[in-house]
Structure 1
Amino acid sequence: MLEHGGGILRAAQQYGIPAQDWLDLSTGLNPQGWPVPAASPRSWQRLPEEDDGLEQAAADYYGSPLLLPVAGSQPAIQLLPTLRPACRVGMLPLCYAEHPWHWEQNGHQLSRHAPEDIDAAIDQLDVLLLCHPNNPTGTTFSRAQLQDWRARLACRGGWLIIDEAFMDATPEHSLLADVGLPGLIVLRSIGKFFGLAGARVGFVFAWPALLQQLAEAIGPWSINGPAREVVKQALQDSAWQHHMRAQLATDSARLQQLLQMHGLNPAGGSVLFQWLQGAHCPALFDFLARRGILLRQFADGPSLRLGLPPDEAGWQQLETALAQWEKP
């Protein structure tokens, strides 16, 4: 199993700090998630049904009906590599680790390309997979560039797969408006912006034949009834979404400024996280962990990802700890 953020119980055992006393900045999830109401008894007592309004709510929110609800992005991440014969797949040097793992496990030839090198390499690839914005570096690309790469791949039967798990806060940069064009696959997740990672709900957007292949491979009832009910309501709550986009932009700027104030200049980031890179990162990770603050550590680089604190107490805890940090 690959390592992910959110390992509070393991950190509590390792550092001897009770789990409830940790400030978890390791996940990149919105810490002020959508307020979940109690699920109806009916959602618990009946098998999930596709005519419950979830698909329509998602089509309205995302702006495309060409979708398949899935139990988070993970099923699609695991199954998409099985739907092509062995081919050449390009990704960024550092990205969400589940993507390269499953393409390699299914016999595909994986190559890594810096952002500035992708254009020169695209005609030697069959699949280009990008997290957009990238996790954890925050790298983004223009819509025109992505559209050009999609067209060049599609003319040879290739795919452009865009994982937009962190896109909800900046929907104007999404490629969802282009879904339906040949070769374009977009993944979206409820976990990040809505802060509903435990619901395990995501969506795949693509042409109908591919969605049908995925649906048959996944099978029925992949999303439980209470999760379908809750996510439908979250997708319909446009007032909360509008407020949260503004709030996250403010909090993101605050985190960036706080890091800079203490000599930690982010090498990248998005609205939901900041990314630090350098030889000091392992020491900073351990320094903060000993004070009950958990970050996401990456061996490549090395580097760290910091999410947003959930409240003013969390902000003060982070600021106090950073004030005590002296960069080696």
Structure 2
Amino acid sequence: MTGTTEIETIEHGGALSRACSRYGGVPGEWLDLSTGINPNPVPLPAISAGAWARLPDEDLLSSAADTAGIRYGAADGISPLPVAGTQSVIQRLPDIFSGKVAVIGPTYEEYRVRFERAGRSVDLVPGMDALSDDYGLVVLVNPNNPDGRTYSPGDVRTLARDLSGRGAFLLVDEAFGDLQPQISVASQAGDVENLVVLRSFGKFYGLAGLRLGFVLASPAVRSVLENLLGTWPVSGPALEIARHVLADDDLHRQTIASIGERSRSLNGILYEAGLAIAGNTALFSLVEDPRAAKLHDHLCRHRILTRKFSYMPHWLRFGLCANGDDDERLRVALRAFVDS
């Protein structure tokens, strides 16, 4: 098309088809460590026939939202809004919030790119202490992706209060917050009028393909977002799965334990290979190494996909292996790199 502006391509993990095109093989032959997703999906509950056959009704929506509110510790009177993955919300943020935007980073690139595509002014700032007084929205990913940096809930609440005093909003993305509940501010979202919190369902439970997340916000922000997303933004089966899975305390504890074991194993393998871990959450570890590009290429030739970063070429992010066999596959490939 003529007269169009070239759109920036955003790199994400999970681009297996692209890796296959370049390095060969088919997706089933690859070990995908490029995402921060639990590699061991939780068991799915039975889904009623009605969830497939009918549009989601208000009772199902409310039940899933109430269960999410209990799991995430929502404030009294605040019902989380189910959405088709938090990405669906990120894409609509320029339609909700006005003014200049600050994104504390480097972090998940979608925030900067979505606002810039909407013609908005966006500053990437290194921390809370670098914020000026002219922002209408501040975006904070906590724990941060990809370096795992965290902010205390006290500091986040203080920032929210400061922004509120000048009519600005704070959006906190807690996509990786399930394993660090002590830093969550979900219980203040909505109760603090200018605070919005995003939570991911699929990363922790290993069900990213379900495309499900939740927004905790004031009734005013929730109403605007509901109108933008339209009727029935989340499928009935997704809502039924969320209602059952989020209510299962034993499953929640088992998932925490499983992810913790997998994380410890990954970090041990990286240390064995002499790689420096620059940061991590329980669902991924970030390696900082001047050979990162060569290591990424080496692992791809062993059909192992990791996440590289164009803006930080010395970074490489590793997701979790699902089991001991995958651990050994990664260990052998890293050993070959060290010995080469």
2:66 paired residue number: 56
SS in 2 for 1:127: strand
For the residue of structure 1 that corresponds to 2:59, the secondary structure is coil
For 2:149 and 2:297, locate their aligned partners in 1 and report how far apart those are by CA, in whole Å.
26
Q: In the alignment, what sits opposite 1:320?
A: 332
Match of 1:219 among 216, 221, 230: 230
Q: C-alpha deviations, 1:38-94, integer Å up to 9, x for none?
A: 422211100111211211211121121332111000121111221233x22112332
Note if contact 1:127-1:159 (Cα within 8 Å) is conserved in structure 2. Answer: yes
Q: Report deviation, 1:327.
A: 8.3
Q: 1:11 aligns to what?
A: 19
Fraction of identical pairs, as percent? 37
Contact 1:123 1:152 in 2 (8 A): no
Residue 22 (str. 1) matches residue 42 (str. 2)? no
For residues 100 and 186 of structure 2, the distance between their equivalents in structure 1, rounded to whole angstroms, comes to 24
Which residue of the partner structure matches residue 289 of structure 1? Answer: 300
* C-alpha distance in structure 1 between counterparts of 2:254 and 2:105, whole Å: 34
Of 242, 261, 264, the residue aligned with 2:253 is: 242
**2:265–2:327 Cα contact (<8 Å) kept:** no
Of 25, 50, 64, the match for 1:42? 50
Q: Pairwise CA RMSD of aligned residues?
A: 1.6
- Given that 2:45 and 2:244 are in contact with CA atoms closer than 8 Å, whether structure 1 keeps it comes out as no
Whole-angstrom CA distance in 1 between matches of 2:243 and 2:79: 17
Q: Give the direction of change, closer, same or farther, for the CA distance of 1:246–1:102 in structure 2 (3 Å limit).
A: same
**Secondary structure of the residue that 1:176 maps to in structure 2?**
coil
Q: Is 2:176 aligned against 1:166?
A: yes
What residue ranges of structure 1 are gaps of 5+ in the alignment?
Answer: none
Q: TM-score, normalised by structure 2?
A: 0.91
- Indicate the residue corresponding to 2:208 in structure 1: 197
Aligned to 1:135: 145
Q: Which residue of 1 aligns with 2:90?
A: 77
Counterpart AA for 2:82: P
Pick one of 154, 157, 161 that aligns with 1:144: 154
Distance in 2, Cα, partners of 1:62 & 1:84: 24
1:284 aligned counterpart, secondary structure: helix
1:183–1:327 distance in 2 versus 1, CA, 3 Å: farther
**Is 1:100 matched up with 2:108?**
no
Equivalent position of 1:67 in the other structure: 80
TM (norm. structure 1) is: 0.95
1:274 aligns with 2:285: yes
d(CA) in 1 for partners of 2:12, 2:171: 21
In structure 1, distance between residues paired with 2:50 and 2:73: 29
Question: Within the alignment, does 1:255 sit opposite 2:266 as a pair?
Answer: yes
- Tell me the CA shift for residue 9 of structure 1: 2.1
Deviations 1:195-242 (A, max 9, x none): 111111111111001100100111111111111111211111110111
- SS state at 2:156 partner: helix
Name the aligned partner's letter for residue 110 of structure 2: E
**Residue 174 of structure 1, CA deviation:** 0.5
In structure 1, how many angstroms separate the alpha carbons of the residues matched to 2:289 and 2:273?
15
Moved more, 226-235 or 103-112: 103-112
Runs of at least 4 residues of structure 1 off by over 3 A?
Answer: none
- Looking at structure 1, the residues matched to 256 and 45 of structure 2 have their Cα atoms a distance apart, in angstroms, of 21
Range moving further from structure 2, 314-323 or 1-10: 1-10
CA deviation after TM superposition for structure 1 residue 107, in Å: 2.7
1:301 aligns with 2:316: no
C-alpha distance in structure 2 between counterparts of 1:2 and 1:48, whole Å: 33
Q: Which moved more, 1:14-23 or 1:268-277?
A: 14-23
| Count of residues in Structure 1 that have an aligned counterpart in Structure 2 | 325
Q: Deviations over 1:6-40 (max 9, x none)?
A: 11222123211221111111111001121114422
Distance 1:55 1:183 in 2: 21
Alpha-carbon distance in structure 2 between the residues aligned to 1:130 and 1:66: 22
| 3-state secondary structure, aligned to 2:196 | strand
**Structure 1 position 250, deviation (Å):** 2.7
Of 14-23 and 263-272, deviating more is 14-23
Shift of 1:192: 0.7
Distance 1:6 1:120 in 2: 33
Distance 1:126 1:84 in 2: 7
**Secondary structure in 2 aligned to 1:5?**
coil
Q: Aligned to 1:123, what secondary structure does the other structure show?
A: coil
TM superposition shift of 1:3:
2.5
